[in-house]
A and B are shown apart, each in its own frame.
Chain A
Amino acid sequence: MSLTEKDKATVKALWGKISKSSDAIGADALGRMLVVYPQTKTYFTHWSDLSPNSAPVKNHGKNVMSGVALAVSKIDDLTAGLLDLSEQHAFTLRVDPANFKILSHCILVVLAIMFPKEFTPEVHVAMDKFFCGVSLALSEKYR
């Protein structure tokens, strides 16, 4: 299920439209994930406040989306482009890769909320494939 040239073009076109809202997207997606999938809170016990729109959540949402931005720029070779991030997730953060799917889903829901007109089924499939590719690249160094 690799990204076709059409998929890559679709992802880059959408990113062009949404990137200025990336902080808001990240904060909403992360905040939402912690509420909808409470088991994900286990990774953030060091935060003072896990509620949506809290400072740690907003800040980390920004971090996550800068990773997404990096992935968009490296869309032609996600594995190579996300190598450092993969090492970080594998050896330092040790996030169970099942959670990549969970966060990806939450980002897609936020895109549907914030950009209902742009998030057509064709755009949805390209973005879903993209996030699958990102998740796979992030899992690369795990074992």
Chain B
Amino acid sequence: MVEWTDFERATIADIFSKMSYETVGPAALTRCLIVYPWTQRYFGNFGNLYNAAAIMGNPNVAKHGTTILHGLDRAVKNMDDIKGTYAELSVLHSEKLHVDPDNFKLLADCLTVVVAAQFGKAFTGEVQAAFQKFLAVVVSSLGRQYH
């Protein structure tokens, strides 16, 4: 089981309470599709992903980005059993969506960059460490049911 310090719990709760899911989600997914273009392989039916401008204006990307963030919310609310919380989602990503689990880390890194930009100087090293630890647990849990 993952051990969380009080600081880590408070930091994660704080970050997500101050986040606009409709802004951060789309921004993170958009950034991921641009910075790591091979991730576009999973979104063949999303329409025009031809260039950065198209990706940034694509409503399917925006909608899915928001969906992903709301999915993260479940981990925020169940920090003591993220593995259990994501068991079903892990099966989904493995069996149905066939997503290479390495991609989860790429999206996590983009999310870190977007949150850093929003929080500015408040995103200290300690806050970053807590946020990245949280995302690492999420990433690990999402990859857990792959076989």
Q: Chain A: residues with CB nearer than 8 A to chain B? A: 31-32, 34-36, 52, 105, 108-109, 112-113, 116, 119, 121-122, 124-125, 128
Contact = CB atoms under 8 A, between A and B. Distances in A.
B116 A124 contact: no
Q: Which of A52, A109, A124 has the most CB of B within 10 A?
A: A109
B117 A112 contact: yes
Main secondary structure of the interface of B (DSSP, over half): helix
A34 B128 CA distance: 11
Contact of B112 (A34, A35, A109): A109
Contacts of A116: 117-118, 120
B55 to A, nearest CB: 8
A124 B35 contact: yes
Given A109-B113, A124-B113, A35 B35 contact: no
Given A121-B34, A124-B34, A124-B113, A35 B52 contact: no
A122 B30 CA distance: 11
